[in-house]
Amino acid sequence: MKRIGMLTSGGDCQALNATMRGVVKGLCNMYKDVEIYGFLEGYKGLIRNNYKQLSASDFSGILTKGGTILGSSRQPFKLMDQPTEDGINKVKAMKETYKKLKLDCLVVLGGNGSQKTANLLSEEGLNVIGLPKTIDNDLWGTDMTFGFQSAVDIATTAIDCIHTTAASHNRVFIVEIMGHKVGHITLHAGIAGGADVILLPEIPYDIKCVCKAIEKRSKAGKGFSIIAVAEGAISKEDAALPKKKRKEKLANRPYPSVAYEIAEQIKETCGCEVRIAVPGHTQRGGSPDAFDRVLSSRFGAYAAQLIKDEKYGRLVVLKDNEVTDIALSDSAGKLKYVSPEDSIVQNARMLGISFGDK
């Protein structure tokens, strides 16, 4: 008999349900009796003792279903030590809910911030297992998070659709892709969609270099260009500012986002027609792709085995195509960035893709 709590925390993604299904299927194959408590809207449900008792049948038929049957919310780690607006001590309340339900383990499906809280609860003595969620693929310690490949597929389709219209009208198109701090989705979708310029938060751009890349294409007789830009792409000039000044400047930027600013600069310098496409939250929506269904099912099954082995305080990860686990404390607080030295960046440069930096 096992009593398991489960929650999905932070921005949603495509394979949350598939991952929970994997955990439950794995457990139900090992134990006759499994009690599952699903906390609603992430840590909020754990804090407020708001849960649904679920049975194995609730996890049937959800492999392909996007979103999360438990709901999600953002509960920033940095605010965990501050009481709720109605005065509840969050960490204390979460521990009480766990103890009241006599849970054997809490399974947390979440990204970077959510796993920091998972680690905190583990340090507070709860049995916790983390599962690496996020379209951004920025969780340290895993080669891949679930949700990433599905998001890359959607962003790639967005670039593909833009390609045909950009070519018909000889326009420059900017496709703005999710990723405030890291550019993994933009990098992968940019390569997959044949973008000519890829702009990432990790490789600050110089608008002159971006324009140079467009003009080089037009001199070569190519009337259109596609720029894949991450939400958090930053100019060299802004990157050089002290953090506080930079934040202030970007918050007061007279454009809705970086894509609009770059569009204006390109229009001015190159005199060409520029259009913008922002797939936005579609990148987190819909069904998980086949890759994510396999990955999340493997992650879920592995988590069930960890529970059986009573190996807690662990984050399930993918390393060299094998599912394994690391200490939650090893990953907590670290982001996995794109490095300009990564071979994938070098490969892209060899294909003639500009990163707007030289």
Point out the residues that are catalytic: 136
Nearest of 358, 137, 173, 346 to residue 266 by alpha carbon: 173
In whole angstroms, give the CA distance from residue 102 to residue 80: 23
d(CA 79, CA 343) in angstroms, rounded, equals: 37
Per CB under 6 A, 135 contacts ligand F6P: yes
Q: Which is nearer to ligand F6P, 34 or 230 (CB)?
A: 230
Question: Which listed residue (134, 137, 331, 354) binds ligand F6P by CB under 6 A?
Answer: 134
Task: Give the residue with the Cβ less far from ligand F6P, 9 or 127.
Answer: 9
196 makes contact with ligand F6P (CB under 6 A): no
Q: Which of 30, 24, 189, 56 is nearest to 16 (CA)?
A: 24
Q: Which of 284, 293, 298, 314 binds ligand F6P (CB under 6 A)?
A: 284
Per CB under 6 A, 289 contacts ligand F6P = no
- Listed in sequence order, the residues at least 6 apart from 219 whose beta carbon sits closer than 8 Å to its beta carbon are none
CA dist 159 and 282 (Å) reads 13
229 near ligand F6P, judged by CB under 6 A:
no
Q: For the segment 11-30, give every residue that binds ligand F6P (CB under 6 A).
A: 11
Work out how close the CB of 147 gets to ligand F6P at its nearest, in angstroms, rounded to a whole number. Answer: 8
Which span sits near ligand F6P by CB under 6 A: 54-62, 93-101, 129-137, 243-251? 129-137
Query: Given the rule CB under 6 A, which of 36-44, 87-95, 131-139, 312-320 is the region that contacts ligand F6P?
Result: 131-139
> Shortest CA distance to 176 belongs to which of 167, 164, 186, 168?
186
User: Is position 7 an interface residue for ligand F6P (rule: CB under 6 A)?
Assistant: no
Minimum CB distance to ligand F6P smaller for 335 or for 344:
335
Backbone dihedral angles phi then psi of residue 262, each to the nearest 5 degrees: -65, -40
Amino acid at 319: K
Cβ-contact 131, 19 below 8 angstroms:
yes
Pairing of the two strands 314-319 and 274-277: unpaired
Q: Cα 321 to the chain's mean position, in Å?
A: 19
For the bound state, the minimum distance from the C-beta of residue 169 to ligand F6P, rounded and expressed in Å, comes to 29
Amino acid letter for position 34: V
- Of 41, 136, 196, 261, the one binding ligand F6P (CB under 6 A) is 136
What token pair was written down for 208?
A: 């002159």
State the nearest-atom distance from the C-beta of 67 to ligand F6P, in Å: 12
Main-chain dihedrals φ then ψ at residue 93, nearest 5 degrees: -65, -40
Question: E strand or H helix at 2, and its extent?
Answer: strand 2-8
Q: Which stretch binds ligand F6P (CB under 6 A): 29-37, 99-107, 133-141, 301-309?
A: 133-141
* Residue 38, beta-bridge partner list: 6, 52
Q: Is there a contact between 6 and 109 (Cβ–Cβ < 8 Å)? A: yes
Residues 332, 135, 55, 317, CA torsion sign? negative
Residues 157-186 binding ligand F6P (CB under 6 A) are: 178-180
- The nearer residue to ligand F6P, 136 or 289, going by C-beta atoms, is 136
Instruction: Please identify the residue of the shown chain whose CB is closest to the bound ligand F6P.
Output: 178
Nearest Cα neighbor of 48 from 78, 88, 5 is: 88
**Tokens 């194995």 sit on residue:** 56
Span of 56-64, 128-136, 254-262, 266-274 interacting with ligand F6P by CB under 6 A: 128-136
* Minimum gap (Å) between residue 269 Cβ and ligand F6P: 28
How many residues sit close enough to ligand F6P to count as binding (CB under 6 A)? 10
> Binding residue for ligand F6P (CB under 6 A) from 41, 176, 231, 289?
231
Min. distance of Cβ 80 from ligand F6P in angstroms?
Answer: 18
Binding residues vs ligand F6P (CB under 6 A): 11, 111, 134-136, 178-180, 231, 284
